[in-house]
Chains A and B, each alone.
Chain A
Amino acid sequence: MTRTDEQRLIRLAAAGDKAAAEAFIREYQQPLFAYLLRMCGRPDVAEDMVQEAFVRVLTNLDRFDDRFRFSTWLFTIAKRLYVNACQRHKPTYDSDVVGGCEGGGFGAPEASAVGAEIHGHVKDALQAALLHLPAEQREILILFHQQDWPIALIAQHMDMPEGTVKSHLHRGRRKLRELVDANEEHSTRVAEVWT
């Protein structure tokens, strides 16, 4: 969607045009869901947040600052919802969840894919590793490698200098790789024990 199209649709949707609102939802629901799913690891929670983000954004379009992209605004609202949901799901005791909200916050950032499968929240080793990253690194990795956002846009979205974003990105990549490798190693050992 070009910027001109986007601005035209925003004007229409703000005036109550249902088709324009629908166009926005169809355009962004998949990437937004993917982003939130990777952030929280829970499809049900991600889906709820997607809905809520669209409702909030589309009913407040008159407040939209057209210097920014619609997607940036949408993802910012979604991130706020994620942070709020994270606080609501925060465990009472530190021992409940390793790393707390930083580690995903929705009940099961597991140390291994085996454990993740037991809890049914995290279905793959990549997601398990992702949930063990600090939230900032996780979000930057997702925005850069999943959403293909440029560093400058991520810096604007995260409200941090581009250099800091890059630093988080590089560290996050290395950490993610280590976690995945460790997970694979663990799975291999488990397989060896059982065979």
Chain B
Amino acid sequence: MTVGPGNNHPPRPDGELSAPARIPQSLVDAFLDGELDAARTRQLFEGLRADPAAGEELAKTRRILNGLKHTPVPRDTTHTVLARIHRRRHFLPLPLRRLVTAGRAGVAAVLLAGVLGAAVVQRVSPNAVRFTPAPAPIAAVERAGSDGAMQVRQSAGVVVETIRLRLAQPVADCVAIAADASCREPRVCRVEREPLSRVACGSDPLQRDWNWGTREIVFMTGAGNPAWNAAGGIALVEPQRAGMLPLGFLPGGDPVSMGRGLVGSPDSLLVLPAGAEVGAAREELLERLLRGAASEWHDSGDR
């Protein structure tokens, strides 16, 4: 019926099975489709008896088609499938399944509403919802100063403005990083590790036992003492020691040492170059500090 061994009939140009003229292709197709009535089946079999080669071809085609049914028996996957369905809680009673689904949907809806609500509130009032400790804006510090909260001291001809902040954690146990003479730019120096107190207190033995809970940033913007002008720095001092600052801070009047105004956070130390403009460096300094440990600002009225 087709091109191949044992086929006595030439292939037809249109590719049809080359059945003998007595057996029309439509009859063979109808037979294979199972659509032949008794009369036409008889007609086909008579034709095949007269043409054994065609009969063989048809038999071979049927064998091939029957071969489609011969497949290996699959591994029984019943339990695997049931286990997978069970994991989806499909075998719970329907009301309970609906309850679980509704519960899940409810929890998801509440979570979604919470997140969306927080996002909206955050947008309307940025300070109302805070998921992480956010640094206080520098503007708040500036405002505290303009409200008169800024305390100006004059000591030895130096104007000292004081802004208080409370660090998130005491730094007593922290190892701060001190600067050496190579630090000439406002930056965080990691030169050598020393207890912060040694750096901040300089040579003043009275300040070595500070309580490191609350700190002040002291902006020294005055004039008069050339050493202070050269320092132009920012010091981290204990509130009750602020009055002693000029003495305590100046390590023997050494301008090089004084050139490193200091401010500490638990893991950083900002070093200002000698003679730096305090105003220019202050914002950067505060920003760095606030990104670090500062958690709460309050003006000097708390003192």
Q: Do A and B bind each other?
A: yes
State whether B16 touches A174 (Cβ < 8 A). yes
Asked if A29 and B5 make an inter-chain contact with CB atoms under 8 angstroms apart, the answer reads no
Q: Which one, A51-59, A79-87, A97-105, A111-119, is touching chain B?
A: A51-59
- Complex Cα gap A18–B32 (Å): 41
**With an 8 A cutoff between CB atoms, is B90 at the interface?**
yes
List the A residue with the shortest CB-CB distance to B64. Answer: A180
Q: Does A141 contact B (CB under 8 A)?
A: yes
Selected interface stretch from A1-9, A33-41, A88-96: A33-41
The reply to whether A29 and B76 contact each other, CB–CB distance below 8 Å, is yes
Contacts of B66 in A (CB 8 A): 145
Chain B proximity of A179: nearest CB distance (Å): 10
In the complex, per-residue mask of A116-134: 1 if CB is within 8 Å of any chain B CB, else 0: 0000000010100010000
Would you call B32 and A173 a contact (CB within 8 A)? yes
User: A178's contact among B3, B33, B74, B80, by CB below 8 Å, is which?
Assistant: B3
Judged by a CB distance under 8 angstroms, whether B205 is at the interface is no
Whether B68 and A38, one on each chain, are in contact in the complex, defined by CB atoms closer than 8 angstroms, is yes
Q: Is A135 located at the chain interface by the 8 A CB criterion?
A: no
Interface status of B294 (Cβ within 8 A of chain A) = no
Q: Whole-angstrom distance from the CB of A29 to the nearest CB of chain B? A: 6
Whole-angstrom CA separation of A15 from B76 in the bound complex: 24
Please state if A51 and B68 are interface contacts (CB–CB under 8 Å): no
Q: Are B71 and A25 touching (Cβ within 8 A)?
A: no
Question: Taking the complex as formed, is B91 at the interface, i.e. its CB lies under 8 A from any CB of chain A?
Answer: yes
Of the candidates A16, A22, A38, A55, the one whose C-beta lies within 8 Å of that of B92 is A16
Interface membership of A181, Cβ < 8 A: yes
Chain A binder among B81-89, B154-162, B247-255: B81-89
Q: Which chain B positions have C-beta within 8 A of A108?
A: none
Chain A residues contacting B80 (CB-CB under 8 Å) are 51
Among B15, B16, B81, B97, the one with the most A-chain Cβ atoms within 10 Å of its Cβ is: B81
User: How many angstroms between the C-alpha atoms of A55 and B86 in the bound complex?
Assistant: 10
A38 to B85, CA, bound (A): 26
Q: Is the CB of A33 within 8 A of B93?
A: no
B68 partner residues in chain A, CB cutoff 8 A: 38, 126, 130, 141-142, 145-146
Residues of B within 8 A of A173 (CB): 29, 32, 61, 65
Q: Which residues of chain B are within 8 angstroms of A37 by Cβ–Cβ distance?
A: 71-72, 74
* CB neighbours of A15 from chain B (8 A): 93-94
User: Which residues of chain A are near B61, meaning CB under 8 Å?
Assistant: 173, 177
Chain A residue nearest to B7 (CB atoms) is A181
CB contact between B67 and one of A30, A126, A181, A184 (< 8 Å): that residue: A126
7 closest cross-chain pairs (CB), A and B: A181-B4, A33-B74, A34-B71, A146-B68, A145-B65, A54-B81, A25-B78
- Can you report 18 A-B residue pairs in the complex whose CB atoms are below 8 A from each other? A18-B82, A18-B91, A21-B82, A21-B90, A34-B71, A50-B77, A51-B77, A51-B80, A54-B77, A55-B84, A58-B81, A59-B85, A169-B33, A174-B2, A174-B17, A176-B65, A177-B1, A177-B60
A-B contacts besides A30-B73, A46-B74, A145-B69, 11 pairs, CB < 8 Å: A15-B94, A16-B94, A22-B82, A33-B71, A37-B71, A37-B74, A47-B74, A59-B85, A177-B2, A180-B64, A181-B5
